[in-house]
Amino acid sequence: MRLPRVQGSCPVRRLQVWRALSYAALILLAVIYLAPVIWMALTSLKSPYEATAMPPTLLPARVTVESYEALARSGSQAPVLRWLLNSVLSAVAHALLVLATAAPAAYALARMEFRGKRLVLAAVLATLFVPPILFLPANYLIVRSLGWLDSLPALVVPPAASAFGVLFLRQFFLGFPRELEEAAALDGATRLQVLWKIVLPLSKPALATLAVLSVLSNWNDFLWPIYVLFNPEKLTLSPGLALLQAAHSTDYALVAAGAVVASVPILAVFIAAQRYVIEGVARTGLKG
């Protein structure tokens, strides 16, 4: 097909070739980048023997789910389904607690004037830069004296004190147009009504973003849970995987299956809420 009035040696075609090549390169790069994850999924479907065979196979010679069955077996050393349940409960409860406590606080810090506001803001902001290890010894003792060791509240409550949620929502509320709130106030609405009926419904994208980031951070937390959980039944997936690896360091298929179980739900959340995760990171550059 001839394209009239195009100078040079058919730049349109050359552009297409160039574009196709760029795509091919990018796809290749992405496949190589994701290869470890793909390989993990394939390994989990091999027999324990095949998983460590040399030379390694790429595709399972015989697809088997025996590693998953071993993980699901009741009374197993690695109750992965139990860990999965604990992880889901912990992450959901944590996200709800973050929303419930951070939203009113953020609203007060964004829209109300009161004594000590600057102090509160400065204190909250400063803690963003404190390394997490600093809290570990004392928080361990605090959680222990609350009787929360080896239980869900230890995973749900202390991490919800993080500064992130409050600062994130406050930033959103600051950019929120005041007119609606003012109109409601003129109609005699209380602050709580304004927050509940006007601000929160219109902040759904921000709330969803914070919820997803909170789920993500709670699901993947590692340093804290390995020191406050002991009983295998009480673990979540992150510390559970560490235990699984320690106990079955040579059964690669089993360990890979554990990793798949830990990854699939959070990858599903990520795929479903991808826009929120990436926007949240892009907007703040901070994790929850």
Partner 1 sequence: MSAVDVPLVEPGQAEVDGGAQSAPGVGQLRGRGPARSRWWAPYLFLTPYLALFGLFVLAPIALGVWISLHDWDPFLPSSPWVGLDNYADLFRSGSPSRGNFWRALRATALFTALSVPVLVTLPLLLALALDRSFPGRSLFRALFFAPYVLGVAVVALVWRLLLDPHVGVINHLLGKVGLPAGTGWTTAVPWVWVSLVGMTVWWTLGYNTVIYLAGLQNIHREIYDAARIDGATRWQLFRHVTLPGLRPVVMFVVMMTVLGSANMFGQAYLVTGGGPGSETRTVIMYIAEEGFRSFRLGAAAAMSYVHALLLALVNLGMVLLFFGRGGDEEAR
Q: Residues 120 to 179: which contact partner 1 by CB under 8 A?
A: 120, 123-125, 127-142, 144, 157-158, 160-163, 166-168, 170-171, 174-175, 178
Least distance between partner 1 and beta carbon 4 (Å): 27
Other beta carbons within 10 Å of 245 = 15
Rg (Cα) of the chain, in Å, rounded?
25
109 CB contacts (<8 Å, ≥6 apart)? 117, 120, 121, 166, 170
By the rule CB under 8 A, 1 interacts with partner 1: no
Residue 9, token pair as written in the block = 């040696």
164 phi and psi, to 5 degrees? -55, -50
From the list 96, 152, 184, 200, which residue makes contact with partner 1 (rule: CB under 8 A)?
184
Q: Could you tell me which stretch among 7-15, 64-72, 74-82, 115-123 binds partner 1 (CB under 8 A)?
A: 115-123
Q: Which of 12, 24, 26, 247 binds partner 1 (CB under 8 A)?
A: 26
Which residue in the set 43, 67, 86, 90 belongs to the binding site for partner 1 (CB under 8 A)?
43
Contact indicator for 149, 235 with CB cutoff of 8 Å? no
Cα dihedral across residues 81, 84, 86, 92: positive or negative: negative
Contact residue for partner 1 among 3, 33, 62, 204 (CB under 8 A): 33
Of the candidate residues 37, 61, 63, 247, the single one contacting partner 1 (CB under 8 A): 37
Q: Can you tell me which residue has the tokens 């826009």?
A: 275
| 53 Rama sector, left if φ>0, alpha if ψ -120 to 50, beta otherwise | beta
Applying the rule CB under 8 A, the residues between 221 and 280 that interact with partner 1 are 221-223, 227, 237-239, 241-242, 245, 252, 255-256, 258-259, 262-263, 266-267, 269-271, 274, 277-278
